[in-house]
Amino acid sequence: MKKNNVFKDIVEKKIPSEILYQDKKITVFSDISPKAPVHFLVIPNKIIPSLNYIKKRDKNLIFHMLRTAIAIAKKKKIYRTGYRLIINCNKNSGQEVPHLHIHILGGKKLPSI
């Protein structure tokens, strides 16, 4: 059993957050400390600690997360102007929360990487 974390608590509504979308598999919510005018996080409802833990059986889940990120970009009107999806993995990337998440960033010209 994986340990609970702050994102699992958001999925289960044990702590408040601005949830934009939720279904049986995934949740999308506003980042508490936005790094761009548009900043949302797409997470699986089940705990996957990082990208390193995805399995073949998760392929539909990962595709659903990506398709939903694109739908959110459309809804938030950054689909045409452009946006960035980021998945941090482990310490050197700066991953803080041990629960797989895709950042959706946009609404301004983002710095080159």
C-beta of 80 vs 85, nearer to ligand 5GP? 85
* CA-angle at 61, arms to 51 and 28, nearest 5°: 85
Lay out the sheet containing 83-86: strands in order across: 19-22, 26-30, 38-44, 102-106, 83-86
CB distance 27 to 47 below 8 Å: no
Q: Does 95 sit near ligand 5GP (CB under 6 A)?
A: yes
Other Cβ atoms within 10 Å of 34 Cβ, number = 13
Q: Does 5 sit near ligand 5GP (CB under 6 A)?
A: no
Q: Does 50 sit near ligand 5GP (CB under 6 A)?
A: no
Query: Is 101 in the active site?
Result: yes
d(CA 49, CA 98): 5
* One residue of 20, 36, 97, 110 binding ligand 5GP per CB under 6 A: 97
* One residue of 5, 22, 45, 88 binding ligand 5GP per CB under 6 A: 88
* One residue of 6, 36, 54, 85 binding ligand 5GP per CB under 6 A: 6
Residues near ligand 5GP (CB under 6 A): 6, 17, 29-33, 88, 94-97
